[in-house]
């Protein structure tokens, strides 16, 4: 049966059972519900066990979750068989049946925890705070609607509080599990298991309230609730398990059900306000439960703000890193060719007087590579880049535009003459460099070209490159300035 058919069928069956209950004797109504729940939970137990044993490609935690689901449904089915026997032939089996139902309910939260992705660090703490806050809000609601109007505080009453606490914990885990899922990804085992746990908890709480009020056990939709919870559990045993998601920003804010855990908190506040307006006072248990819940919610929000702030810092760091990588040479950290040309073009477009460009090509670099390897050559390039940066002003532009070739633009109008700067650069470059335990020495040849503001960058760099080759031809380790009147155009 497909999901779109199974769900309406389950709702229809639950409504039919709820409608039939008033027409049947009390024991007949119990028997009808017990048969339906035992059959549905037995079906779920069979397929949970089958998937635990034979479903490939699932994690160990998910296998354990299927195992807990199988145990819970097996015990639940057997408990309803005992309850069926208690209303038909052996009334003494009612107490063991009720006890087994409680035991079955205890396995559902364990299955929910195992079926959820394993979280660590702040994400795990945030999940724990969510569960605790929802537990507090749900317990406040349960206290108000189930226990606040009861009389004596007997030992049986205390046992009921423990049972309610277990049911509320299961409901809290269910709501938090649902809030972390995305309905757009399709139905999953985890979603329907959580829904079944929520239905079971609400139904049992409703049954307890009916007992305190002296109402029929099936009143307030309790008869339908038991059947529907078992049906949803059976459906969950046939669905695919959702893959673990992440704990990123989208799970904090943008998931469709991200605000679901806060619904019980809002309801608890509304109920408390209504009671205060009517009676002028609140039960101390309710007050302290709400105070604890609000403290947990505030702590959770502070943790969320911290998480978002940390994500924002990490995002900014990543953006800065990517921007640096996009504009700088990966080895030397100097501007790459594209960034250099962009900034140099902007300088030429501004009114900055004369601008001098240099093209520097290293001399003696190839022997270093051939003798000591490319890693040593990279170390030499890094040291040369640092020396160039140290000798230039902060406003000047320097770029690695080739293997061992650098382009420099003297931007600062107060810079010394180009030949003087070039001489200082060559003197610094020829200082020995320690690489791989050896001292190596490289030199350089520099070509200069000057233009006025508004000149073309491509022409300026071509002239400087031509001058650099003239410097190499003159014996390397020299400086030449481009002189258009002295050189033929073909140069």
**Domain encompassing residue 82:** 3-315
* Contact present, 136 and 293 (Cβ < 8 Å): yes
CA pair distance 457, 465, nearest whole angstrom: 12
Asked if 30 and 87 touch (Cβ cutoff 8 Å), the reply is: yes
Shared-domain flag, residues 169 and 40:
yes
List alpha helices for 21-93, DSSP H: 26-54, 60-88
**CA 408 to CA 303: how far, in whole Å?**
49
Model pLDDT, residue 241: 77
> Does residue 176 fall inside a structural domain?
yes
286 and 219 share one domain: yes
Tally of domains within the chain? 2
* Domain identity same for 369 and 433: yes
> Which of 250, 282, 315 is where one domain is finished?
315
Is the same domain home to 417 and 307? no
Query: What does 136-188 look like in DSSP terms, one character per residue?
Result: HHHHHHHIIIIITT-----HHHHHHHHHHHHHHHHHHHHHHHHHTS-GGG---
Residue 325 lies in a domain: no
pLDDT in tens, 445-489: 999 998 877 778 899 999 999 999 999 988 888 999 988 755 544
Identify whether residues 260 and 391 lie together within a single domain: no
Q: Strands (DSSP E) along 237-364, which ranges?
A: 354-363
265 and 365 inside one domain: no
Whole-number mean pLDDT of the chain? 84
> For the segment 21-80, what is each residue's pLDDT rounded down to a tens digit?
999 998 898 899 999 999 999 999 999 998 888 766 678 888 888 999 999 999 999 999
Model pLDDT for residues 110-160, shown as the tens digit of each residue? 888 888 777 777 778 888 888 888 888 888 888 888 776 555 455 555 667
Provide DSSP, 291-316: HHHHHHHHHHHHHHHHHHHHHHHHHH
pLDDT per position as a tens digit, 81-93:
999 999 888 889 9
194, 295: one domain: yes
Residue-wise pLDDT for 296-330, tens only, equals: 888 888 887 888 888 889 889 999 888 888 899 98
């Amino acid at each position: 049966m497909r999901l779109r058919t199974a769900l309406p069928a389950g709702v229809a069956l639950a409504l039919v059972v709820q409608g039939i209950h008033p027409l049947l004797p009390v024991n007949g109504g119990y028997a009808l519900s017990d048969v339906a729940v035992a059959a549905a939970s037995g079906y779920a137990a069979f397929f949970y066990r089958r998937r635990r044993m034979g479903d490939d490609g699932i994690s160990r935690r998910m296998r354990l979750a299927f195992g807990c689901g199988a145990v819970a449904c097996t015990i639940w089915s057997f408990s309803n068989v005992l309850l069926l026997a208690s209303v038909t032939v052996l009334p003494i089996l009612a107490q063991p049946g009720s006890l087994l139902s409680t035991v079955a309910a205890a396995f559902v939260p364990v299955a929910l925890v195992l079926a959820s992705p394993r979280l660590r660090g702040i994400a795990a703490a945030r999940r724990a705070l969510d569960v605790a806050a929802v537990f507090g809000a749900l317990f406040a609601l349960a206290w108000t609607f189930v226990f606040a109007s009861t009389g004596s505080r007997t030992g049986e009453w205390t046992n009921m509080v423990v049972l309610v606490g277990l049911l509320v914990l299961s409901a809290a885990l269910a709501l938090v599990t649902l809030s972390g899922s995305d309905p757009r990804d399709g139905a999953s085992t985890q979603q329907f298991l959580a829904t079944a746990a929520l239905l079971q908890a609400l139904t049992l709480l409703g049954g307890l309230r009916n007992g305190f009020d002296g109402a029929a056990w099936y009143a307030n939709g309790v008869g339908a609730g038991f059947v529907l919870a078992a049906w949803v559990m059976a459906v969950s045993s046939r669905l695919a398990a959702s893959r673990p998601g992440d704990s990123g920003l989208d799970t904090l804010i943008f998931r469709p059900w991200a605000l679901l855990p806060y619904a019980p908190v809002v309801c608890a506040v509304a109920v408390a306000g209504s009671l205060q307006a009517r009676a002028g006072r609140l039960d101390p248990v309710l007050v302290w439960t709400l105070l604890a819940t609000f403290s947990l919610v505030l702590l959770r929000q502070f943790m969320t703000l911290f998480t978002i702030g940390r994500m924002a810092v990490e995002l900014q760091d990543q953006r800065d890193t990517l921007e640096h990588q996009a504009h700088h040479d990966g080895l030397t950290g100097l501007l790459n060719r594209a960034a250099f040309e962009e900034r140099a073009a902007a300088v030429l477009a501004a009114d900055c007087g004369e601008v001098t460009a240099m093209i520097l090509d290293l001399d003696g670099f190839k022997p270093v590579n051939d003798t000591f390897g490319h890693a040593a050559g990279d170390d030499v390039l890094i040291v040369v880049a640092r020396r160039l940066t140290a000798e230039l002003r902060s406003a000047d532009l320097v770029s690695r535009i080739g293997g061992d070739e650098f382009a420099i633009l003297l931007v600062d109008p107060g810079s010394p003459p180009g030949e003087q700067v070039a001489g200082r650069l060559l003197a610094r470059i020829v200082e020995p460099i320690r690489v791989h335990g050896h001292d190596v020495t490289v030199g350089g040849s520099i070509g200069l070209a000057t233009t006025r503001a508004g000149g073309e960058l491509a022409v300026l760099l071509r002239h400087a490159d031509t001058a650099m080759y003239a410097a190499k031809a003159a014996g390397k380790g020299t400086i030449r300035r481009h002189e258009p009147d002295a050189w033929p155009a073909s140069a």
